[in-house]
Amino acid sequence: MLTVYGNRTSGNCYKLQLLLDQLDRPYTWVDVDSANGETQTEAFLARNPNGKVPLLELDDGRRLAESNAIACFLAEGTWMWPSDAWERAQTLQWLFFEQYSHEPYVAVARFIGRFLPADHARRADLPRLVAGGNKALAVMESHLAGRSFFVGERYGVADIALYAYTHCAGEGGLDLSGYPAVTAWLDRVAAQPGHTSMHQNA
CATH 1.10.10.10 at 85-190, yes or no = no
- Residues 130 and 35: their CA atoms lie apart, in Å, by 23
Domain locations in the chain as residue ranges: 2-75, 85-190
Contact 141, 185 (CB under 8 A): no
The Cβ of residue 21 has, within 10 Å, a number of other Cβ atoms equal to 15
Which whole number is the average pLDDT over 82-111? 98
pTM: 0.96
Same fold, 2-75 and 85-190: no
Name the nearest CA neighbour of 81 among 182, 151, 11. Answer: 151
Q: Which tens digit of pLDDT belongs to each residue from 115-141?
A: 999 999 999 999 999 999 999 999 999
List 154's β-bridge partners, or say none: 151
Instruction: Determine whether 64 is exposed, middle or buried from the number of CB atoms within 10 Å of its CB (0-12, 13-18, 19+).
Output: middle
Report the run of H or E that residue 30 belongs to, with start and end. Answer: strand 27-31
Over residues 143-160, the pLDDT tens digits come to 999 999 999 999 999 999
Q: Which CATH superfamily hosts domain 2-75?
A: Glutaredoxin (3.40.30.10)
